[in-house]
Amino acid sequence: MNSFRYKLATFMHGRYGIDQLYYGLLVTYVIFIILNIIFPSFIWGILMTASLVYALFRMFSKNIAARQRENRVFLKLWNPLKTELVLCKDRCKDFRTARYRHCKHCRAIIKLPKKRGKHTVICPCCKERFSVRIIL
C-alpha cells in the first residue's frame, strides 16, 4: 500500500491538484447527473462529461499559475453568492426568534431580537445609532 501512495505522490508532484473550483465542478457534475435522470437528454450527458473532464484536466495540470487565476475568478463569483445563501438560510432558521435589518449608514446586516416596536440600534461595524421599527 505504501508503494502505491509513493507512486501516486510522485505522479502528482508538480501538478495543480484540488481546489474550490474542482469541488464546484464536481457538484455541477452531480447536478447534471440528477437532471439527466429526471429529464433524460443527450445535452445533459455532454455537460456531465465536459464538467468531469475539465475538473480532471485542472487537477492534473502542470500550469499552476493559470489554474490559480481560474480559481480566483471562480471565488470572486462564488463568495458573494455563498454569503447570500448562508444569510438566507440563517433568516429562515431564525424566523421565529429574530429579524435582520440593514444599517442605514454602512449597509451591514444586523440581527435583532424579535420584539415588536421601535428600537434604537448601534451598528457593530460603524458604531452609528439609528432607529428600527419591527413589525411582527
The burial of 28, by beta-carbon neighbours within 10 Å (0-12 exposed, 13-18 middle, 19 or more buried), is given as: middle
pLDDT at 136 over 80: no
pLDDT band at residue 37 under the 50/70/90 scheme = very high
Which residue carries 424566523 as its cell?
Answer: 95
State mean pLDDT over 10-31. Answer: 94
The burial of 78, by beta-carbon neighbours within 10 Å (0-12 exposed, 13-18 middle, 19 or more buried), is given as: middle
- CB neighbours (10 Å) of residue 19? 17
pTM of the model: 0.73
Contacts 24+ apart (CB under 8 A), 6-15: 14/62, 15/59, 15/60, 15/61, 15/62
Please tell me the predicted confidence (pLDDT) of residue 101.
87
State mean pLDDT over 112-125. Answer: 88
